[in-house]
């Protein structure tokens, strides 16, 4: 029975979406809930699972083509259902007409994505394969505990934990710089090579240009000593991961410091509507996540009410689901303040652009050991530069600098229990 696959509506205000990548080819078999194609909208990227099992017979929308929601983008020819016995009167059972099914945005909670038919040697989901690449794990060396020997997320995490426990080297004093993404190779057939911008890059371009036109950007930079944070993270990292099942990242420390400073300076948690200042009671903290094609900013709702563990868990969860394209529209909306961390790639500091309609954004540079003066002597300390870009229409240096000084003090005299 043919099933139409349609462009899903990723939120009430979203009217269209762009197919960025087909994960199956015409003629290939697809299982129900198996990732079928990837889309991007002006709100979020998503990996769309198949609404039915069968063979992909038609692809009606090409990659990088934008169509309205509810547009049929593909057709799946599923198995014919068994015919019901004929009625006593001899009337034949009517064959059902082709159906139209909205492709679900995410599989049922807790469900593992099925493996594709081509994965004969290693059965795993796209999420597991992404995790394997991130952690440098060879899937062929693992024995899956899932159904039919499938490798699950837990198998990956258990393997990484065993590998870390067996490592003899002591953990570094400061985080190492992750491997940089390999840029796409360009094959020139003439003096120039022209390709269209990806939908995500177009949206980032529009949003950043709008922000620069809207806000009067000013950036201030502070240098912060991270000795207490680094030492506490080193002492607690292993137990924290064992107890809570998540890594203890520096992002969680910066997030907590930002939240505490926002409580003291609520004007940086506001927005402007014409000539009115809109103060937000709740702190909804956006965390910029780098993807292969750009940046996305998932939001930790009610961050001011969370404990350190809850904040760390939210950071880890949103980052993982952002990279695996499993965020909902609601999870990238409603932010009141944003934290971005270019230091993960080695940057000393940057001058980030404000994420509208917010009025400020905090940038975090790389944590590295530097010589500093302490009590008239040269000392080596782990240091970091923090940069705050703020909207000068509303915030002056008389507010921005004390705010950043509060963040600095919170980090340098860290005394929060990690849990």
Query: Domain limits of the chain?
Result: 1-79, 124-168, 200-412
First to last CA, the chain: 54
Question: What integer pLDDT is reported at residue 85 of this predicted model?
Answer: 45
Per-residue pLDDT at 116 = 39
What is the three-class DSSP state of 374?
A: strand
Could you give the CA distance from residue 126 to residue 111 in angstroms, rounded to a whole number? Answer: 13
Instruction: Tell me which CATH homologous superfamily contains domain 124-168.
Output: E3-binding domain (4.10.320.10)
Q: Which of 158, 242, 282, 396 is catalytic?
A: 396
Encode pLDDT of 227-254 as tens digits: 999 999 999 999 999 999 999 999 999 9
CB 126 within 8 A of CB 113: yes
Helix (H) or strand (E) holding 233: helix 227-244
1-79: which CATH number, 2.40.50.100, 3.30.70.370, 1.10.10.10, 3.90.550.10? 2.40.50.100
Exposed, middle or buried: residue 104 (CB in 10 Å: 0-12, 13-18, 19+)? middle
Between CA 150 and CA 139 the distance in angstroms is 10
CA distance 312 to 100: 41
pLDDT at 9: 79
Is 392 annotated as catalytic?
Answer: yes
pLDDT of amino acid 322:
87
pLDDT value at position 324? 82
Token pair of 24, please?
A: 């199956």
Q: Which residue has the tokens 């993982």?
A: 320
Say if strands 299-300 and 337-340 run parallel, antiparallel, or are unpaired. Answer: unpaired
Q: What is the DSSP letter of 83?
A: P
Q: Residue 417: which of 301, 243, 269, 275 has the closest Cα? A: 243
pLDDT at 82: 44
pLDDT at position 43 is 65
| C-alpha–C-alpha distance, residues 380 and 221, integer Å | 21
Asked if residues 255 and 315 have their Cβ atoms less than 8 Å apart, the reply is yes
Q: Tell me, what's the pLDDT at 24?
A: 93
With the CA atoms of 87, 90, 91 and 92 taken in that order, what torsion angle do they form, in degrees rounded to the nearest 10?
80
* Residue 193, Cβ density class (10 Å: 0-12 exposed, 13-18 middle, ≥19 buried): exposed
pLDDT tens sequence for the chain (419 residues) = 889 999 987 765 567 888 988 999 999 999 988 889 988 876 677 888 899 999 999 999 999 898 988 999 999 997 654 444 444 444 444 444 455 555 564 443 333 444 434 334 566 766 677 777 767 788 877 877 765 567 877 777 778 777 766 543 444 444 444 545 566 778 898 999 998 887 778 888 888 999 999 999 999 999 999 999 999 999 999 999 999 999 999 999 999 999 999 999 999 999 999 999 999 999 999 999 988 777 889 999 999 999 999 999 999 999 998 888 788 888 988 999 999 999 988 999 999 999 999 999 999 999 999 999 999 999 999 999 999 999 999 999 999 999 999 999 999 999 998 87
Are 352 and 340 a contacting pair, CB within 8 Å?
Answer: yes
* Predicted model pTM: 0.67
193 is catalytic: no
Catalytic residue (choose from 207, 392, 401, 415): 392
Superfamily of domain 200-412: Chloramphenicol acetyltransferase-like domain (3.30.559.10)
């Amino acid at each position: 029975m043919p099933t139409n696959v349609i462009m899903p509506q990723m939120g009430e205000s979203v009217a269209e979406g762009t197919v960025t990548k087909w994960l199956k080819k015409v003629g290939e078999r697809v299982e129900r809930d198996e990732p079928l194609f990837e889309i991007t909208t002006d709100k979020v990227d998503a990996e769309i699972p198949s609404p039915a099992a069968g063979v992909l017979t038609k692809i009606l929308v090409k990659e990088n083509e934008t169509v309205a929601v509810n547009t049929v983008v593909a057709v799946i020819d599923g198995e014919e259902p068994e015919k019901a016995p004929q009625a006593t009167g001899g009337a034949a059972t009517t064959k059902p007409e082709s159906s139209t099914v909205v492709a679900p945005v995410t599989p049922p909670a807790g469900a593992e994505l099925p493996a594709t038919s081509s994965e004969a040697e290693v059965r795993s989901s796209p999420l597991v394969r992404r995790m394997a690449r991130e952690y440098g794990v060879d899937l062929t060396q693992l024995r899956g505990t899932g159904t039919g020997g499938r490798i699950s997320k837990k198998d990956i995490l258990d393997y990484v934990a065993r590998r870390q426990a067996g490592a003899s080297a002591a953990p570094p004093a400061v985080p190492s710089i992750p491997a940089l993404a390999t840029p796409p190779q360009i094959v020139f057939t003439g003096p120039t090579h022209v390709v269209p911008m990806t939908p995500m890059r177009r949206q980032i371009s529009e949003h950043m240009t709008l922000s620069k036109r809207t806000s009067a950007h000013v950036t201030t930079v502070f240098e912060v000593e991270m000795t207490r944070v680094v030492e506490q993270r080193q002492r607690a990292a292993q137990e924290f991961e064992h107890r809570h099942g998540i890594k203890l990242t520096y992002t969680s420390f910066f997030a907590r410091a930002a939240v505490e400073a926002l409580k003291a300076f609520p004007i940086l948690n506001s927005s402007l509507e014409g000539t009115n200042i809109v103060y937000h009671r709740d702190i909804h903290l956006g965390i910029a996540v780098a993807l292969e094609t750009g940046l996305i900013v998932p939001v930790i709702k009610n961050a001011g009410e969370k404990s350190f563990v809850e904040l760390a868990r939210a950071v880890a969860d949103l980052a993982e689901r952002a990279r695996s394209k499993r965020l909902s529209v609601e999870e990238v909306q409603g932010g009141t303040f944003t934290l971005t961390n270019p230091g993960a790639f080695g940057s000393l500091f940057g001058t980030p652009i404000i994420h509208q309609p917010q009025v400020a954004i905090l940038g975090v540079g790389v944590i590295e050991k530097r010589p500093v003066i302490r009590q008239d002597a040269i000392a080596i300390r782990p240091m970091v530069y923090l940069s705050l870009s703020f909207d000068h229409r509303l915030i002056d240096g008389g507010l921005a600098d004390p705010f950043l000084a509060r963040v600095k003090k919170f980090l340098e005299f860290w005394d929060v229990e990690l849990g």
